[in-house]
Chains A and B, each alone.
Chain A
Amino acid sequence: MKIAACVKYSLDVAEIRVDVPTRKLLLTGVPRKLGNVDKNVLETAVMLKEAHGGSVHALGFGPPEAKDALLREALAMGADEAVVVVDPFDGGLDPSATAAVLASALARMGGFDIVVCGEASDDDSTYQVGPRLAESLGWPQVAYVRDIAVEGGCVVAERDVGAYSERVSVPLPALITVTEETNTPRRPTLMDVLKAKKKPLALWELEADLGITPASLQEAATVKQLGSEAVIVSRRQTVLWNKPASDLARELVELLVQEGVLEGHDP
């Protein structure tokens, strides 16, 4: 089975700070890493390979620095090959552009049976790239997969749709999206990382390798960001501590009464 794992070199959103007076989101210098859910993507892909044979190909559209993360995580976790398509816009285009690039790279690598994505990326969380990519490939999709097996040329998957869960079956080739609950990603050892260094790891350029000009990609993007601002929620941040629980409880209750949140009543 030829398995693709689409992984995103994402911003660590917990590290995004805000400049309160200007309401600006401070994005420069925010650390980036392979997203959490992308590790579930890789784990799913590698487990499928272990169960059914074949190969795992990790693919990311992102900055050249993503290469190192793909080596240490994707290849070390068990992918056989990794490709980073360099994004000249560094994430600045919309999900339709990302899906178009991924579809084109997958076509160039060729012959996939299954493509695994995350339900939502750690930073943009649009939930769009998986379904859009499935549509570009003309493949069926199964989203929010919790459990997966391949039987007789079909994927049988358990998926969580919120109000209910269901078991579905779909013939390959198919695209699935997985959630953080799907599995516990393996942690590569130093030995795995050393072995990974011998595996193929390529940087592709949009135009040279995929024949997509950056201008045409930008033109084809269906949505354009006009601006953004931080959401500022200011809380009092009063902290009570370092006292016995009963004293802390009395202090908290007093504060809530003063604020008019709690009131006395005659029993």
Chain B
Amino acid sequence: MTGRSGEVLVFAESRETCLELLGKAREIADTLGAQVDVALFGESTAAWAHELGGWGADRLYTVEDPRLAGFSVGPYTDALVELLKRTGPSVALFAATKQGAEMAPRVAARLGSGCVSSCVDVRVDPETRCVEAQAMIYSGRGVATYLVKKNPAVLLAVPNTFARKACGARGLEVVAFQPTISDQRVQTLEVRPRATEGRRLEDARVVVDLGQGVREADGLTMAQELADLLGGQLACTRPVSSERGWFPEWLGLSGKRVSPRLCIALGVSGAIQHIIGIRGSEFIVAVDNSEDSAILTQSDFGVVADLHEFVPALVEVIKARGLRLA
């Protein structure tokens, strides 16, 4: 088992994204009869790394280096390129997060490799090792299939696309790797963590989604009451997140994607870049005061009304009938 490098390498940005990518990586490796490597960088190796064998990894490459303590694209690219040159996989999987998206193309460029963004599926031909990736295009309006002409195929996978799969205890070989890090031109002066919300929107069964139509003064309180009544969570569009500071995260192409049983969109216009974040919902209800709003064609039940009158009325009815999510 030792010695041979994996055909698929997963870049571990966080435990969450790593387990998802491993789900897919294991599947690919099994069709090839090959192994899965994980690359994890930092000042020291995170404790969760040692459980990765149970999620499909065969080998863990750790780089422990104070210069990799916090993410910085220059040193991380140096380290990863050297590792990929050494291990020579067919596929390198990254999560399509902000960090992934700024590093993966640079890694690909240095390797002369193809890179596909917004991937939702991957296939590797067992004979030729040709990599085909399916990816969202035009903000999710479509899906395209790409052939990667130069391996390692560097793929940015949309978060929450692949399912993690526990695979019983496998032996995890841990290899300490010491790359040469030369690009230290960017200096970090200050890091400010976002207030963590301590919840996973992805797990919510009801999401109340707030757009710019929600009034600053009292809209949030109304929406919160509705969400609480249904045991749901609040979420928002990108401009609401950036301009109001209510929530650090938003839903959509450049944000999170949710798939609750019920999503209630309030004052959301239905731009495709936002819809992609909620279209996995089983039911979408939209409240908008404009009958021309695109959200009405993207929802199961649309209500044309001022949301500030409608939401309190809805809360009344739900309370009066003693209803809850089925």
Please give the residue numbers on chain A whose beta carbons come within 8 Å of chain B beta carbons, in ascending order: 11, 13-14, 16, 18, 25, 94-96, 99, 120, 123-132, 134-136, 140-144, 156, 160-171, 174, 177, 181, 221-231, 233, 235-242, 245-246, 248-250, 252-253, 255-257, 259-267
Contact = CB atoms under 8 A, between A and B. Distances in A.
B313 A168 contact: no
Contacts of B136: 231
A13 B296 contact: no
A96 B297 CA distance: 37
A241 B300 CA distance: 14
Given A164-B191, A245-B310, A266-B322, A237 B116 contact: no
Given A126-B117, A228-B145, A264-B323, 7 more contacts: A99-B109, A125-B253, A128-B105, A166-B189, A222-B112, A230-B141, A235-B300
Residue among A143, A174, A249 with max Cβ neighbours from chain B (10 Å): A249
A238 B301 contact: yes
Contact of B113 (A25, A222, A252, A265): A222
Interface string B63-85: 00000000101100000000000
B144 A225 contact: yes
A223 B284 CA distance: 36
B280 to A, nearest CB: 9
B188 interface: yes
Nearest to B192: A165
Interface of B: 71, 73-74, 97-99, 101-103, 105-106, 108-110, 112-118, 132, 136-150, 156, 183, 185-194, 196, 242, 249, 253-254, 261-262, 271-273, 279, 282-285, 291, 294, 296-306, 309-310, 312-314, 316-318, 321-326
A168 B304 CA distance: 46
Contacts of B113: 222
Contact of B108 (A96, A156, A261, A264): A96
A236 B116 CA distance: 33
Contact of B317 (A144, A167, A237, A249): A249
A245 B190 contact: no
A181 B323 contact: no
| Chain A binding surface SS class | mixed
A185 B282 CA distance: 38
Contacts of B301: 236, 238-240, 252, 255-256
Contacts of B312: 245
Contacts of B302: 237-240
Contacts of A95: 105, 115
| Chain B binding surface SS class | mixed
Contacts of B326: 260-263
B321 A140 contact: no
Given A252-B314, A264-B323, A226 B145 contact: yes
A228 B106 contact: no
A129 B118 CA distance: 14
A131 B103 contact: yes
Contact of B140 (A227, A231, A266): A231
A-B CB proximity, top 7 nearest: A222-B114, A241-B304, A228-B144, A135-B109, A128-B105, A263-B326, A249-B313
Given A264-B322, A264-B323, A143 B192 contact: no
Nearest to B312: A245
A224 B109 contact: no
A250 B149 contact: no
Nearest to B103: A131
A169 B185 CA distance: 8
Residue among A223, A238, A249, A266 with max Cβ neighbours from chain B (10 Å): A223
16 contacts: A25-B142, A125-B118, A126-B105, A126-B118, A132-B109, A140-B183, A166-B191, A167-B188, A231-B141, A239-B304, A240-B303, A245-B313, A248-B310, A263-B324, A263-B325, A265-B322
Contact of A132 (B105, B297, B323): B105
A125 B117 contact: yes
B138 A16 contact: yes
B300 A238 contact: yes
B186 A140 contact: yes
A164 B322 contact: no
B322 A261 contact: no
A135 B147 CA distance: 23
A249 B146 contact: no
Contact of A235 (B190, B191, B272, B298): B298
B142 A233 contact: no
A95 B113 CA distance: 11
Contact of B192 (A135, A166, A250): A166
Given A167-B190, A236-B300, A245-B305, A125 B139 contact: yes
Contacts of B193: 163-164
Residue among B190, B196, B303 with max Cβ neighbours from chain A (10 Å): B303
A76 to B, nearest CB: 26
Contact of B300 (A237, A246, A266): A237
Contacts of A165: 191-192, 194
Residue among B141, B196, B294 with max Cβ neighbours from chain A (10 Å): B141
